[in-house]
Structure 1
Amino acid sequence: MIKIRAWAQYYVDMLTKLGVIRFSIISAATTIFFSIMIQASINYILRGEVQLDDLYAAILFAIIVTPWVVFFLSIVVQQLEDSRKRLSKMVYKLQEVRARDLQLQQELQVNLIELNAEFEERKKAEADRKQAFKDLENEVFQREQAQLVVEERSALVRSFIDSSPDLVYYSNEQGQFSGCNLAMESLTGKIEKELIGFTPFDVYDTEIAAKFAATDKAVLSTQLSETYEQWLTYPDGHKACFELRKVPFFGRRNESIGVLGYGRDITERKKYQDALEKASRDKTTFISTISHELRTPLNGVVGLSRILLDGSLSEEQRQHLNTIYVSAQTMGNIFNDIIDLDKFDRRKFEIVNQPIEFRSFLNDIKTLALLQADQKGLVLAFDVFGDIPDFINADGTRLRQVLWNLVSNAVKFTDSGEVRIRVFTSEEGDNRIGLTFEVEDTGIGISAEGQDKIFAMYYQEQGSKRATGTGIGLSVAKSLMTAMGGDIWVSSELGEGACFTIEFDVDGVESLQQSDVPEAEQTKLSILLVEDIELNVTVCTAILNKLGHSVAVAIDGQRAIEMAENNHYDLIFLDINLPDMTGFDVIKTLRENDELELPPVVALTANVINNRQEYIDKGMDDAISKPLSINAVTGVISRLFSSSELGAESHLNYVVDELIDEQNMLDEYLDVDLLQQYLDTLGKDLLLESVRLFEQTMPHYLTLLNTNLTARDQDAIVDEAHKIKGAAGSIGLTRIQQVSQLAQSPEQPTWWQNIDDWVEQINTEYQHDVNRLKTWIANQDG
């Protein structure tokens, strides 16, 4: 069977290899050959012979049959071959499939193993996941609980911070605010969301912001805390002093992320400290000044007692006089002890100038100097150079105190020789007189080092046996001369004596005579009133309306300029102190407008007018003082609009009369004449309404005045005092107006020493004066 398959395969291979035609020819030849051989063999066996026809028949049969057989066989073989090839391909593919199946089966086995392992892992992971989920639930619950605790604590901390009166804020490394508490919001006038992203320069004045930013930068660079005091202003204008403490602010990873600041309001502490300092200062000033002033006449008692003791006396007289002498010396020692117990170098002196007879004053100085010089056998020379005025306007007590001290020292430190007093006078113009006093001695002199310190409080030359006093005399003299607008200095050589010189100016005294203001027919005018204090506006408007004039009001300089340029007015009353500019700035702007036909402009000032020409030189047509009086208003309108011009003499008399009236008002609680005019013109109801408006505005004025005083802000103190002065004057409170005038005058030499007392007087006495005013109004008829 195997051979047949082999021969069949061989047959197929030959057919495939030789092709159909060649294979057919070879097959036909082979068939013919075998056909002949078979036919010959059969014939030979059967017949015993082979005939040629049989051979031809075999050849012919083979020739006819062979091609068809070969052809069909070839087709069969071809088909078989094709089937074989397809079968081979199928077998090959089946082998590939089988191989792949085997591979897949192997991979499946591996995957099954891995799947089983993964399934086990997943089962374990699922168990772990369930456990982790449970753990996560527990953790989430714990975190939620912790978050609630944190939120509660944060809310508590925030509530605590917001309820704290201290400022709390924090800023980033760029100096921008990142958060704050309610106290900080109240100070800045901005809520926290508005502050975030702002720098100090967006919130505070430049000077404060620069300090704020500099300390923040110092904290960030050094990582150390900074503490300093700073006055800050609230939106309503009142000031508070804060002790600001700044510390580095760290994040969760302990990295620096900004600055945390705290601010404690120490205004009350500052007030308390100022009050203690003032009390101590007042006590020391009182002790030093009184003891020193008493010691000067006490020296006279001692000297005269000593002189009398050297004379002829009865035993009883000598005993009594010796008692006086010893008592005076003892009292002097007690004064020294009092001063030594409370040495303090800050003093205040109030200079009260009044007319004094100058020749009599010089005679007193000469007499005392002569007594002291005679006690030690010294020669006294008293020389006067220049014209001696009969009267000068000066503080005689203070000047006498200075000169007596210089003379006493000259006598004390001179053992022999002379003491020379020289007086020089000179005309300075504008009725001013220059005075120079020189007190020279031939005593022990002062060292160069001592000359630099001689005017210091309690200073005494070292090694001087004669320096037995307290050392306050020359210091007091220096302060007094400064307060009087003068100066004192010394020139000396050790062992050659000393010369003390004082120099200052005084006013000559002139007599003033009062004269009446002529009345003139008033014209009904359209008036622009420029005034920023509501109470003054109310009173001035009522007066002008009662006089028949129509009034328009501007409360600041810019508005006044716009109204004057866009409207026609017959007269402008212009306040000098306005919130945005001065009245002089307003008039300058209006005068520079060539297209504007400017009406007469009258300056309103709360100050006493000593020289109207100063206002006229600055662009005004006239000037009157506040509070307005009906006489002042009618007078200025008469001068500006009357058909008949007032003469120069009448004008001068009017000015003199007004100055005398203003001076008289300073001695009374209330300006009764002015109030009577208001009462007659406005009526009791409107006057009481003005008083109530004053009472409503004063607490705010006083709050700002007091905080500015504690902050030592001079400009703000002057501004608030000016407002109070104007408001008080508008309702006739003369005393409050007078004290406020002092408080708004920082040019005074002793202003800082006295401002505390003036402000305290305003705080404590204004309500009493208001009550007096109410009582006065209630007692008036109508």
Structure 2
Amino acid sequence: MMTIWAQKFTELLTRLGTARFSVALFSLILLISLVGTSTTDILLHGNVTVYDLLTPLILTLLTAPWVLYFFLEMISQLEKSRRHLFQLVEQLEELREQDKLLNQSLKDKVEQLNFEIEERKKAEFARQDAIDRLSLEVVERKKTQESLGEQTALLRSFINSSPDMIYFRNEKGIFYGCNKAVETVTGKKEQELIGLSPFEVYPNEVAMRAIETDKVLFENNQPITYEQWLQYPDGRKALFEMRKVPFFSASGRRLGLLGFGRDITERKKSADALEKAAREKTQFIATLSHELRTPLNGIVGLARMLRDSPLNEQQLSYINTIYVSAETLGNLFNDIIDLDKADRRRLAIVPEPQDLPAFTKDVATLAELMASQRGLGWQFERQGELPECVEMDATRTRQILWNLLGNAVKFTEQGKVGLTVSADVQPDGKAMLRFCVTDTGIGIPKHEIDKIFAMYYQVESGGKMHATGTGIGLAVSKNLAEAMGGQLLVTSTPGQGSTFTLLLPLPICKALKAPALPEPNGQKVLQILLVEDIELNVTVAKAVLEKMGHQVTVAMTGQAALDACAMQMFDLVLLDIQLPDMSGFDVACTLREKAEFAELPIVALTANVIKDKEQYLENGMDDAISKPLSVATVSAIIDEFYGEPGAMLNQRRHEEEQEDKLLDTNILGQFVEAVGAAIMLQSADLLASQMPDYLKVLESNLMAGDKKEACEMAHKIKGAAAAVGLKRIQQLANLAQHGDAPAWDENIQEWVDEIVEQWQADLALLRQWLNERSK
């Protein structure tokens, strides 16, 4: 109740305001005071006086305002407090509501947190389980990696121990890995190679080919193999067989290529050695053929002379057979020689003025004899007018015609063979000569026409070879015809015969004059002992020597030569090496043992092409010349020993001349005077240590066909040889360094071979020369 009245009192105070409420309250108090006083006085005194009214009035006036102010201020503060408390209560209510909300949220979050904790516990259990499994997998993987590492290391060891190059490049050509062999060839470590392109590793030419072969590989997705010369860091070149294969991932995506390179330099050397051996074998056969041609020519000449002598019919038949057989054999030897020259690309054509009618007559005469030996008919015809003289290689042309005529006779069992010669004179002063060889033989099947000019090919019919032979005649003839600027054509009908046509464009020249005989050269007339066991060679050599005016004594055995020397003093001995009873070396050594023959000039006769005369000089000879003898060769030999009075060379002078040929003694003398022989010997030792590497690089460049590098190495060898006075080696290297010189390609291998064969001997001679000067 009091709270209600207090609230109403406060509301009234608030509604009236303090001032109005104060007046009203003051009035109310005053009224109450007056009423109370009056009532009290009436009750006590029975009356009310002014004084009685005045006293409460004054007291009220004095105390009421302060009481009212205090009361009202207290009420105001209480109201404010109430209001503030009310606000606080409201705020508290709000806070309570918020607290309820927060409690609810907290409860929700606690529930969520509890749920998350449970989930985390589950996740932790799962994670721990996963960790356990992962740990197990790590252990297993570690074991696997260790196993793979061992396998990888083993595989890497295998790859690095391989002598072959192994590398990997991606599709852009960038290196991604390689083995030790690649590092050795390129001079770069694997880490240096990774990320490089071929142009940053190889010379431009090699890199271009690598890129081109990569392109072919990627276009076809097929392995590719080719040969490539690569250069080691020391300058040595080696031939590699390069093989590339496409490289794919497990999913089938192409990653790049795997490359392999195998050094086949030794295989190349072996192949070249085999080829060289084959050439040397062919050259030997050719040399032998040359030597056999001399007695064959003698047989032909003697047979021709016998045919002109009185003979009965049987003897004439025998002589004709000998004549034809010798000519045929000589033609076969010519084929062998030309086969060797064609193989070495040294086939030389030497055109000379030739009496054409006489030439065709000689060919026709031989062909007639060949045909008559087989019982065949012969027909020779000149169509139209032929030039009197043309410039032609008569030997080569005759060789072609003999081959064609020999085949015509060989493949004709009955009927006839023929030769028709005609010429078309052209405005430019040349004549197109046409030689047509015809026969009525077995003919050539159409499908074999294009094959007959192949080496060693022989026509077959019905599974049988119709005639034996070498199978090289037509191949050589075609080469010879083309070398002379002509053609060799053929037409044939099986069972009816064949026609071979030789076309040669030849310049027309003036008629020939009869050759003049050589005039005597005015040399001293010598007593010459000719030691030769082949009678035909004796006849030829004796005729040459006697034609020059010398007197010749012949000995056909070694013992006969020794007996002749014991009975007579000779001015010159021409000594064959191959004798029936002993060698020419034995004869020379026996003569040199006797003082009276110490100064006797002995010259060896040899059928071989002379490259080095040391073997003959070491066995007591003074010189060596090749057979057959010629006037020029004999004159040079006589001038060597008798060109000046008393010009017989003793052994020391010969040795000095040999030294001058091999060593530059003038330069060496200056070097020795300047620095001393000991320093020069040290330089010689240095050259001895460097020369094998120089030659190895030179030969590898020659095998690689790198002329520029070969010439540069030859120049280096020349400088090294010149520095120590090796004259012969310097001269050979000088020839080898000029790659643009004529016939360089034909001769370079011979020069290099001679350097390889001779440098050690020349260096030994240099050491001997220096040791003599150092004493």
User: Where on the TM-score scale, by shorter chain, does this alignment land: which range?
Assistant: 0.5 to 0.7
In the alignment, which residue of structure 1 is the partner of 2:24?
Answer: 26
Alignment match of 2:704 (pick from 701, 707, 711): 711
- In the aligned structure 2, how far is the partner of 1:210 from the partner of 1:738? 32
SS in 1 for 2:10: helix
Tell me, yes or no, if the aligned pair for 2:729 and 2:759 is still in contact at 8 Å: no
SS in 1 for 2:25: helix
SS in 2 for 1:183: helix
For normalisation by structure 2, the TM-score amounts to 0.57
Q: Does 1:80 align with 2:42?
A: no
- In the aligned structure 2, how far is the partner of 1:291 from the partner of 1:251? 65
Tell me, yes or no, if the aligned pair for 1:410 and 1:440 is still in contact at 8 Å: no
Tell me, yes or no, if the aligned pair for 1:691 and 1:770 is still in contact at 8 Å: no
Tell me, yes or no, if the aligned pair for 1:458 and 1:470 is still in contact at 8 Å: yes
Shift in Å at residue 679 of structure 1?
Answer: 4.9
SS in 2 for 1:204: coil
Alignment match of 1:699 (pick from 689, 692, 715): 692
Q: Deviations over 1:82-112 (max 9, x none)?
A: 2222332333344344444444444444454
Tell me, yes or no, if the aligned pair for 2:732 and 2:755 is still in contact at 8 Å: no
In the alignment, which residue of structure 2 is the partner of 1:347?
Answer: 343
- In the aligned structure 2, how far is the partner of 1:38 from the partner of 1:510? 202
Alignment match of 2:658 (pick from 642, 648, 672): 672
In the alignment, which residue of structure 2 is the partner of 1:10?
Answer: 8
- In the aligned structure 2, how far is the partner of 1:40 from the partner of 1:278? 171
**For residues 136-285 of structure 1, what are the structure 2 equivalents within 5 Å?**
139-220=137-218, 223-249=221-247, 255-275=253-273
- In the aligned structure 2, how far is the partner of 1:737 from the partner of 1:435? 45
In the alignment, which residue of structure 1 is the partner of 2:501?
Answer: 498
SS in 2 for 1:175: coil
- In the aligned structure 2, how far is the partner of 1:381 from the partner of 1:235? 70
In the alignment, which residue of structure 2 is the partner of 1:369?
Answer: 364
Instruction: For 1:169, give the aligned amino acid.
Output: Y
**For residues 191-590 of structure 1, what are the structure 2 equivalents within 5 Å?**
191-220=189-218, 223-249=221-247, 255-275=253-273, 347-348=343-344, 366-373=361-368, 375=372, 376-379=377-380, 401-402=399-400, 404-405=402-403, 408=406, 415=416, 419-420=420-421, 439-440=435-436, 456-457=454-455, 472-480=472-480, 486-490=484-488, 498-501=501-504
Shift in Å at residue 77 of structure 1?
Answer: 1.0
- In the aligned structure 1, how far is the partner of 2:444 from the partner of 2:145? 81
Tell me, yes or no, if the aligned pair for 1:448 and 1:493 is still in contact at 8 Å: no
SS in 1 for 2:226: strand
**For residues 754-773 of structure 1, what are the structure 2 equivalents within 5 Å?**
758=750, 762=754, 765-766=757-758, 770=762
SS in 2 for 1:92: helix
SS in 2 for 1:378: strand
- In the aligned structure 2, how far is the partner of 1:513 from the partner of 1:726? 48
Shift in Å at residue 69 of structure 1?
Answer: 4.0
- In the aligned structure 1, how far is the partner of 2:150 from the partner of 2:721? 55
Which stretch of the first structure deviates more once superposed, 24-33 or 727-736? 727-736
Tell me, yes or no, if the aligned pair for 1:671 and 1:732 is still in contact at 8 Å: no
For structure 2, the residue ranges without an aligned partner over 5 or more in a row are 493-497, 510-514, 522-639, 644-653
Tell me, yes or no, if the aligned pair for 1:225 and 1:246 is still in contact at 8 Å: yes
Q: Deviations over 1:721-745 (max 9, x none)?
A: 7877898896365999599879979
Shift in Å at residue 212 of structure 1?
Answer: 0.7
In the alignment, which residue of structure 2 is the partner of 1:569?
Answer: none
Shift in Å at residue 476 of structure 1?
Answer: 0.7
Percent identity among equivalent residues?
35
Change in CA separation of 1:282 and 1:33 when aligned onto 2, cut-off 3 Å: same
In the alignment, which residue of structure 2 is the partner of 1:634?
Answer: none
SS in 2 for 1:487: coil
- In the aligned structure 1, how far is the partner of 2:406 from the partner of 2:737? 35
Which stretch of the first structure deviates more once superposed, 732-741 or 131-140? 732-741
Alignment match of 1:89 (pick from 87, 90, 106): 87
Shift in Å at residue 257 of structure 1?
Answer: 4.3
Which stretch of the first structure deviates more once superposed, 121-130 or 205-214? 121-130
Instruction: For 2:660, give the aligned amino acid.
Output: L
Kindly report the root-mean-square deviation, in angstroms, between the aligned alpha carbons of the 2 structures.
6.5
Change in CA separation of 1:38 and 1:149 when aligned onto 2, cut-off 3 Å: same
Change in CA separation of 1:488 and 1:16 when aligned onto 2, cut-off 3 Å: same
Shift in Å at residue 246 of structure 1?
Answer: 2.5
Tell me, yes or no, if the aligned pair for 1:675 and 1:731 is still in contact at 8 Å: no
SS in 1 for 2:185: helix
Change in CA separation of 1:403 and 1:694 when aligned onto 2, cut-off 3 Å: farther
- In the aligned structure 2, how far is the partner of 1:238 from the partner of 1:276? 23
- In the aligned structure 1, how far is the partner of 2:711 from the partner of 2:688? 20
Q: Deviations over 1:114-161 (max 9, x none)?
A: 555555555566666666555555555555555544544444443333
- In the aligned structure 1, how far is the partner of 2:342 from the partner of 2:276? 10
Tell me, yes or no, if the aligned pair for 1:446 and 1:498 is still in contact at 8 Å: no
Change in CA separation of 1:399 and 1:505 when aligned onto 2, cut-off 3 Å: farther
Shift in Å at residue 222 of structure 1?
Answer: 5.2
Tell me, yes or no, if the aligned pair for 2:400 and 2:477 is still in contact at 8 Å: yes
- In the aligned structure 1, how far is the partner of 2:357 from the partner of 2:708? 41
- In the aligned structure 1, how far is the partner of 2:249 from the partner of 2:173? 16
Q: Deviations over 1:376-423 (max 9, x none)?
A: 44336699857799xx9x8x8766534533565688899476544889
Change in CA separation of 1:466 and 1:368 when aligned onto 2, cut-off 3 Å: farther
For structure 1, the residue ranges without an aligned partner over 5 or more in a row are 429-433, 515-656, 661-667
Shift in Å at residue 187 of structure 1?
Answer: 1.6
SS in 2 for 1:86: helix
- In the aligned structure 2, how far is the partner of 1:54 from the partner of 1:726? 163
